[in-house]
Amino acid sequence: MELASKLPEPKSDRLKASPLIFSTLSIYFIAVGVLYLWGYWGYFHVNIMEYMGLSDVVKVAAWPVGSAFVFMLVGMVLGEMRPADVLPAGGGRSTSLGGWLNKHRTALAVSFMLGLVALLAFGPTHVWPIAALLAGIVLALPLQQLPHLVKLIPHASARTILTIAAVVLPLFAFAQGRVNADKIYAGQSYFYVLSDSDGVSATGSPQSSMRYVGFAGGTFFFWDPDVSGVTLIPSSVVKSLKLARMPKPK
């Protein structure tokens, strides 16, 4: 009996689990893409899902989310690259500070999350990705000790990184969408119409020209600062479109 318990998992069982894992990951990344689009397009009060299908969601969101999240992921990995004896797991529980923190951990976690909610409600939009990271860490730390997850990923450091990344990514996607949209709305970073074209007019001033928001479902979306609204122009009436970046690259 003892020998049988040490036998590796049958190959057939692993193969049966593969479709389930693939389906779960597919749903997960589609959800991440939807959250980014919700954060970005929702800022302009546009239901972008009326103009694109689920097959386009991950493709559209992959670059803006992935290019920003990869730096955060590198930081997580570097944070786990330390000698095991520097800060062993549970090594500080015997100290007075560790005992106090452990005793009041629930109240501290609730206070921390309330502080993040206040930061999101009253703070500037550019801090949202950092708030998403902090919230994700608080939510992920209890999850990494789940028995099924421990069995699936025995290595503690790898389990910590993957759990935090999996929890943080959806929150980060929505926050990054808001940040990118806010940059266009506030005039911090955007592409504007440089010259007149069929169906699209330029004012000559980068601040007052229509700002490019995106393209979906055969439609161009522009933010018009003069009317504080979104202008939709079918691609069928636009033969060419010349855009310039603001601020200009150095």
Whether residues 78 and 118 fall in one domain: yes
Whether residues 178 and 195 fall in one domain: no
Q: Does residue 227 have a pLDDT over 60?
A: yes
Whether residues 24 and 90 fall in one domain: yes
Report pLDDT for 247: 81
Q: Does residue 10 have a pLDDT over 80?
A: no
Sorting pLDDT into bands at 50, 70 and 90, what band is 170?
A: very high
Domain that holds residue 215: 190-246
Whether residues 144 and 113 fall in one domain: yes
Report pLDDT for 2: 46
Q: Which of 102, 118, 166 is nearest to 139 (CA)?
A: 166
Q: Residue 79 is inside which H or E element, if any?
A: helix 54-80
Whether residues 10 and 64 fall in one domain: yes
Whether residues 78 and 161 fall in one domain: yes
Average pLDDT (61-82) is 78
CA distance 169 to 69: 8
Sorting pLDDT into bands at 50, 70 and 90, what band is 3?
A: very low
Sorting pLDDT into bands at 50, 70 and 90, what band is 120?
A: confident
Which pairs from 186-194 meet CB under 8 Å and 24+ separation? Answer: 187/211, 187/225, 187/246, 189/246, 189/247, 190/223, 190/245, 190/246, 191/243, 191/244, 191/245, 191/246, 192/243, 192/244, 192/246, 193/222, 193/241, 193/242, 193/243, 194/242, 194/243, 194/244
Torsion, CA 239, CA 241, CA 242, CA 245, rounded to 10: -170
How much of the chain exceeds pLDDT 90, in percent? Answer: 23
Mean pLDDT, the chain, rounded, equals 80
CA distance 2 to 80: 35
Report pLDDT for 178: 94
Cβ 138 vs Cβ 112: under 8 Å: yes
Sorting pLDDT into bands at 50, 70 and 90, what band is 211?
A: very high
Residue 118 token pair: 């206040």
Whether residues 178 and 206 fall in one domain: no
Count of domains for the chain: 2
Residue 9 token pair: 């998992």
Report pLDDT for 16: 53
Average pLDDT (201-219) is 83
Report pLDDT for 123: 81
Whether residues 27 and 140 fall in one domain: yes
Q: Specify the higher pLDDT residue, 55 or 80.
A: 55
Q: Does residue 22 have a pLDDT over 70?
A: yes
Whether residues 203 and 218 fall in one domain: yes
In single-letter form, the type of residue at position 122 comes to F
Average pLDDT (227-231) is 91
Which pairs from 49-52 meet CB under 8 Å and 24+ separation? Answer: 50/217, 51/216, 51/217, 51/219, 52/216, 52/217
